[in-house]
Amino acid sequence: MTAVLSHGLSSGALAALFTVGIALAWRVVGLIDFHLPAVFVVAGYGSVSFQDLGLPLLPSAVLGVGVAAGYAALLFLLVHRPLLRRGANPDVVLIATLGLLAMAQATLGWVYGPVRRYPFSGVQATVEIVGFRFSAADLAAIGLAILLIPALLTFLRRTSLGLSLEALSENRQLALVTGVNEPAAQVLTYALVAVFAGAAGVVSGVVAGVDPAIGVGPFLVAFGAVLVGGHQSLVRPVVAAVLLQIVVALISWQLPAQWDRTVLFTAIVATFLTRRIVVRQVQRRRVTQLAAS
Amino acid sequence: MTYLLAVLLTICIWTVVAQGLVLVFGHGGVFSVAQIACMGVGGYTAALIASGYESPGLGFLLAPVVAAAVGAVIGLAAVAGAGESALLVTFAAQFVFEDVVTNLRGLTGGANGISAIPPLTVSGVALLDPPELLALTVPVLAVVALGLWALTSSPWGRRLRALRDNRHAAPAYGVPRTAPLVQAFAVSAGVAGIGGALYVATAGFVSPHSFGLDQLVMVLTIVVLGGQTRLAGAAVGAAIVVLLQRLPAYVSFGGSVDQHLPQFLFGLLLVLAMLLLPNGLLRERPSVRIEPRGDRTSQFTTWLSTLRRTP
């Protein structure tokens, strides 16, 4: 049971990192980016490549995330930004990002081959904390989530640069009037998004390995958490991601491992639909009360 | 000649599948990625009945029915959530489909799939070669295209487009909020099921790899490139995409590149189409001509008033 909970906690931390990236892109730039699974994978492959060059564990991981951030910012300038500038509707941007994902998967498959690579495969140590046994990768996921998410929230609320990103997400027109440099803010947002997606990619690589298609599943889990928690907040999607992963770990405990994905997506869709129905009922009741008064 | 007919056959099958997506995405405005899962449901239904009961004809007929039923359930969940949730629900449907057909080994053959499926027979003649299969596929494509054209040209089709253009205003003019979209999902899935059954009749085997994310990118490219709202656009897109898919047969760059080249090209086409041709090669034709007077809101309400049911 404790093993199941510690697995749920570490998967939740991993999903929380990716969730923050998706929610940030949606809030500030206003797009759902289906290309983020490629950023997730690029970070994993980046760390593998630096490790192949002989670099130690930590610098390889940091450089892998850096490569992913540069890659995401470059593609944002080449594809996303031109589409946003001409006011393309969200479906158009979404399809373009799906195209980018297909291109990235094909390129990575060609460069690295179909075999799954395992960065930091030597890291096998486990630690017991209050009866819960965690692997090094589990601790890395939880530690990164505890470190990076509050750091981002502090950056967004306490620095002028962060406040300009918040202003763009709250009221774009007013933010532009007050002198916020939108292109620069969007590129910065994308670099931050890539840091979170990339960090999730590197840690996920330690647990599950890296292959060109591995980012899609975690992306959809995180996207589901954003839908359940709502993209207006950064905290609620994180809580949703962690709770969903713990609940799914508990459900999957009794089932064969090959049904994990089915259980996960069924749980996400069921939670989201239930939340939507409850919210609608509450809204209807309020309207009825207002009409009666 | 046989090779050319085989290419034509593939184009016809993908046109059928893409035309189903045109209905939901182009006319309904719901971005669905469950089209390949529905095609797979049709394909597996046809394969299971053909293999288990030695009745390929019955399998071919039941494939769209089962796929439409599954599509209606997916549609209900997708439309209930509204907005971006349709994307999540339809993607979840794709993943659940892949897991079910891979894990239920006793029924579906698991990752190896089902092979040696008995061929369709018409008047005692087994449909094995491209010319015979084309003789079945072309009339099926014609019936599907005509049926979808009739549907999209009908008041039902206009209601669907009204929901796409303004999901809040349309119900105020008497357009049901969810029913047309769920019906569109069911019809679209049924059409994808026909495509799946045709695929099984042509290939003679079926496996989870036949209905994966690669095929999803392929059908999206077809619809986006040809024109999201035009049934003829699906045929144009399918012709371009199927020929691109066969490119490594003519221009070889070596094993690994050839393997990934089609997917790369489909992705590139999606990006370029969105940057340069966001409406696709064939643009939408307005179904009702509105006199250019008044502002856009009054034009829209004039158009919506044509959808009202007469008492």
Residue A78 contacts B where some CB pair is shorter than 8 Å: no
pTM of the prediction?
0.86
Name the nearest CA neighbour of A266 among B82, B176, B100: B100
Taking an 8 Å cut-off on Cβ atoms, the answer to whether A99 and B103 are in contact is no
Chain B residue with minimum CA distance to A266: B92
Give the model's pLDDT for residue B309: 54
Residues 6+ apart with CB under 8 A from B17: B35, B36, B39, B191, B192, B195, B196, B219
Task: Tell me the pLDDT of chain B averaged across its residues.
Answer: 88
Nearest-angstrom CA–CA distance, B12 and B115:
23
∠ CA A55-A210-A111, rounded to 5°: 80
Quickly tell me which residue has 């072309």 as its tokens: B138
Instruction: Determine the residue among A35, A80, A103, A263 to mutate to test chain B binding: the one whose Cβ has the most chain B Cβ atoms within 10 Å.
Output: A103
Give the mean model confidence (pLDDT) for residues B259-280: 88
Question: Could you tell me what percent of chain B has a pLDDT over 90?
Answer: 54
**Given a cut of 50, is residue B49 above it in pLDDT?**
yes
Chain A partners of B278 at a C-beta cutoff of 8 Å? 88, 92
pLDDT value at B290 more than 60: no
Which residues in chain B are closer than 8 Å to A83, comparing Cβ atoms? 274-275
Residues of chain A short of pLDDT 50, as ranges, are none
Residue for token pair 């179904």:
B287
**Predicted pLDDT at B311:** 46
A56 Cβ under 8 Å from any chain B Cβ: no
Test A110 with B259 for CB contact under 8 angstroms.
Answer: yes
The structural domains of chain A, with segments of one domain joined by +, span 2-292
Residues of B in contact with A107 (CB under 8 A): 260, 264
Interface check B99 vs A, CB under 8 A = yes
Judge whether A230 is closer than 8 Å to chain B, CB to CB. no
Q: What was the pLDDT predicted at B237?
A: 94
Q: Write b or e for each residue in A58-71: b if 16 or more Cβ atoms lie within 10 A of its Cβ, otherwise e.
A: eebbbbbbbbbbeb
In total, the C-beta contacts within 8 angstroms joining chain A to chain B are 125
Tell me what pLDDT residue A185 has: 92
Report chain B residues whose CB lies below 8 A from the CB of A284.
none
Residue range A128-141, pLDDT digits in tens: 777 777 788 888 88
| More confident of the two residues B19 and A234 | B19
pLDDT at B307: 65
- The Cα–Cα gap between B121 and A83 comes to 51
Q: How confident is the model at residue B166 (pLDDT cuts 50, 70, 90)?
A: confident
Residues 6+ apart with CB under 8 A from B254: none
For chain B, which domains are there?
Answer: 2-305 (1.10.3470)
Average pLDDT over residues B244-256: 77
Cβ proximity of B37 and B211 under 8 Å: yes
In B, minimum Cα distance to A112 occurs at: B256
Query: 199-228 in B: which are within 8 Å (CB) of A?
Result: 213, 217, 220-221, 224
Task: Encode pLDDT of B74-95 as tens digits.
Answer: 999 998 866 677 888 998 999 9
**Class at the top of the CATH hierarchy for domain A2-292:** mainly alpha
